[in-house]
């Protein structure tokens, strides 16, 4: 692998005949956005690609993708075609057409806006809240178009020489130029998990997800993840009921930590069974050494992308994020050294802060790794008296027409807003609010926990006073008007 620099950008290349394949990568994705700017990396990429296409006579057709950690532009062709397209793209990133922002945003496929499987996004949101890797899992009712200032600020901070890597396979493009804006390598503090111990919680998903944190270079954790995937698949396949597909996934958390996930589809009727099976198999692996033959079967590196491409991907991630990287031979040797005790010990350590995410409405009664009842980390509190404060109830006439089980009210304290229903409440502290949407007289408080608290003043006696109190309690820089698409559905 050749390593060089062009115009301050790190370039990694494997030589070879045939067409040139290039991927310009930027270390920015959904985890580097905010609730207000969620989707802005994808919009920057679309604007840049749109501009580059119109500047080139040959009309190269790149593949543009935005993920949790990276934004990529991939293009293939002759060395001259690829060089011309990359130069045009880099120039476009220095001069984005802000006046086309709304037009380009309208053409983006809303269904493809998410860079993660919804279950993965929900599990990361449950683990970290609506920040960094968990932000994309926050439930959103409307898309908020960023302002031109937000667009330029995001581009200036993230789409720079210092935050870019170009990977190439094929002949050397002698005339290559990468005139990206200068900048500093961004620093992104990784959030800590919201809960310090093993737990279970709810999210609006059609399935069950188990997530754990492991060291990014741990071969034993990698083998354990594969073993658990196979065991859960086998266990669910041997039970009555429909077949349940089980998948394994990973997400980078920081330069030292990766989140490993196990995902299973489940309907409302069988989610409890799937959750109990997944959790019991995870506890079994943490408590007992697997069979040596089982470990040996899972020590082989997985298939998929060719070794050369995997090497380029790993080297690029090392350049962008500082993540440790092993060449194919070193990785194979590390896997071959994994033993049954190492698998058990690695998974046992990760289970100390494991989290099980299940569909809303499900109540679990499972034992944790310590033998005690598994802790429920739901934001909602059951069968306890809400905090003391000023109570805003529905108008009397409405209460007379509403069944008791369907009533709701709000408690305002000096530090929080509490959404209440019979037997259950959710307290959202003002210092945990990450955004306040204003929809005319209505308000939508966005919590770091991943939940929203909607306030429609017409729904409560004295509701205008409640709205004014919320506006005063939340910092002005977190408040913004919702787009003119009508108010969200508030309770």
One digit per residue, the tens of pLDDT, for the chain of length 491 reads 889 999 999 999 998 887 999 999 999 998 999 998 988 999 999 999 988 888 776 666 788 999 889 999 999 988 999 999 999 999 999 988 888 877 777 777 554 455 678 899 999 999 999 888 888 888 765 667 888 899 999 999 999 999 999 999 999 888 899 999 998 888 888 888 888 899 999 998 999 999 999 998 899 999 999 999 999 999 998 777 666 789 999 998 888 899 999 999 988 888 999 999 999 999 999 999 999 999 999 988 665 556 677 788 888 988 998 877 767 778 888 899 999 999 999 999 999 999 999 998 888 999 999 999 999 998 888 878 999 999 999 888 777 667 766 788 999 999 999 999 998 999 999 999 999 999 899 999 999 998 889 999 999 999 999 999 999 999 999 999 876 543 333 33
Helices (H), 166-252: 219-237
Measured CA angle at 27 (ends 350, 19), to 5 deg = 115
Tokens of 353: 């802060």
Q: What is the pLDDT of residue 260?
A: 97
Sorted by where each starts, the structural domains of the chain and their CATH numbers stand as 2-169 (3.30.830.10), 199-299+338-376 (3.30.830.10), 382-481 (2.30.29.30)
Per-residue burial over 241-276, b if 16 or more Cβ lie within 10 Å, else e, is eeebebbbbebbbbeebbbbbbbbbbeeebbbbbbe
Alpha-carbon gap, residue 30 to 353, rounded angstroms: 24
Alpha-carbon gap, residue 456 to 442, rounded angstroms: 5
Q: What is the pLDDT of residue 303?
A: 58
Q: What is the pLDDT of residue 438?
A: 92
Alpha-carbon gap, residue 314 to 334, rounded angstroms: 16
187 in the Ramachandran plot: left (φ > 0), alpha (ψ -120 to 50) or beta? beta
As beta bridge partners, residue 444 has 437, 454
Backbone angles phi, psi at 439, to 5 degrees: -120, 80
Q: What is the pLDDT of residue 304?
A: 54
Q: What is the pLDDT of residue 486?
A: 38
Q: What is the pLDDT of residue 301?
A: 64
Q: What is the pLDDT of residue 487?
A: 37
Alpha-carbon gap, residue 443 to 224, rounded angstroms: 46
Q: What is the pLDDT of residue 146?
A: 86
């Amino acid at each position: 692998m050749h390593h060089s620099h062009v115009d301050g950008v790190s370039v990694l290349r494997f030589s070879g005949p045939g067409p040139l394949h290039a991927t310009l990568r930027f270390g920015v994705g959904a985890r580097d956005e905010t609730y207000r700017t969620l989707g802005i990396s994808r919009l920057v990429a679309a604007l840049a690609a749109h501009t580059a296409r119109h500047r080139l006579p040959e009309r190269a057709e790149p593949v543009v993708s935005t993920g949790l950690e990276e934004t990529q532009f991939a293009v293939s062709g002759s060395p001259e075609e690829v060089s011309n397209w990359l130069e045009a793209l880099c120039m476009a990133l220095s001069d984005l057409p802000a006046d086309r922002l709304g037009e380009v945003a309208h053409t983006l496929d809303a269904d493809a806006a998410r860079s993660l499987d919804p279950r993965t996004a929900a599990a990361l949101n449950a683990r970290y809240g609506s920040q960094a890797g968990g932000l994309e899992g926050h439930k959103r009712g409307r898309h908020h178009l960023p302002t031109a200032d937000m667009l330029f600020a995001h581009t200036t901070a993230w789409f720079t020489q210092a935050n870019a890597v170009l990977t190439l396979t094929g002949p050397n493009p002698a005339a290559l130029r990468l005139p990206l804006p200068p900048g500093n390598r961004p620093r992104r503090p990784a959030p800590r998990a919201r809960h310090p111990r093993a737990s279970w919680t709810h999210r609006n998903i059609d399935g069950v997800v188990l997530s754990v944190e492991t060291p990014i270079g741990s071969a034993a954790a990698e083998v354990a993840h594969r073993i658990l995937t196979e065991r859960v698949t086998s266990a669910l396949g041997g039970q009555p009921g429909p077949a349940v597909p089980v998948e394994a996934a990973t997400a980078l958390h920081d330069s030292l930590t990766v989140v490993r996930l196990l995902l299973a589809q489940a309907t409302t009727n069988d989610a409890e069974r799937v959750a109990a099976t997944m959790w019991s198999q995870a506890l079994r692996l943490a408590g007992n050494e697997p069979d040596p033959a089982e470990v040996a079967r899972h020590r082989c590196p997985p298939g998929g992308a060719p070794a050369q491409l995997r090497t380029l991907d790993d080297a690029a991630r090392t350049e962008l994020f500082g993540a440790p990287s092993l060449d194919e031979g070193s990785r194979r040797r590390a896997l071959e050294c994994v033993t049954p005790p190492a698998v058990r010990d690695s998974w046992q350590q990760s289970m100390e802060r494991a989290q099980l995410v299940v569909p809303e409405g499900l109540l679990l009664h499972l034992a944790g790794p310590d033998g005690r009842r598994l802790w429920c980390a739901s934001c909602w509190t059951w069968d306890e008296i809400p905090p003391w404060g000023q109570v805003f109830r529905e108008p009397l006439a409405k209460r007379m027409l509403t069944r008791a089980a369907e009533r709701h009210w709000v408690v305002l304290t000096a530090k929080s807003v509490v959404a209440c229903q019979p037997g259950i409440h959710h307290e959202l502290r003002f210092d945990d609010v990450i955004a306040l949407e204003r929809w005319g007289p209505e308000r939508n408080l966005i919590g770091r926990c991943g939940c929203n608290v909607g306030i429609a003043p017409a729904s409560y006696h004295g509701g205008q006073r409640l709205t004014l109190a919320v506006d005063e309690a939340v910092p002005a820089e977190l408040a913004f008007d919702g787009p003119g698409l009508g108010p969200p559905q508030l309770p």
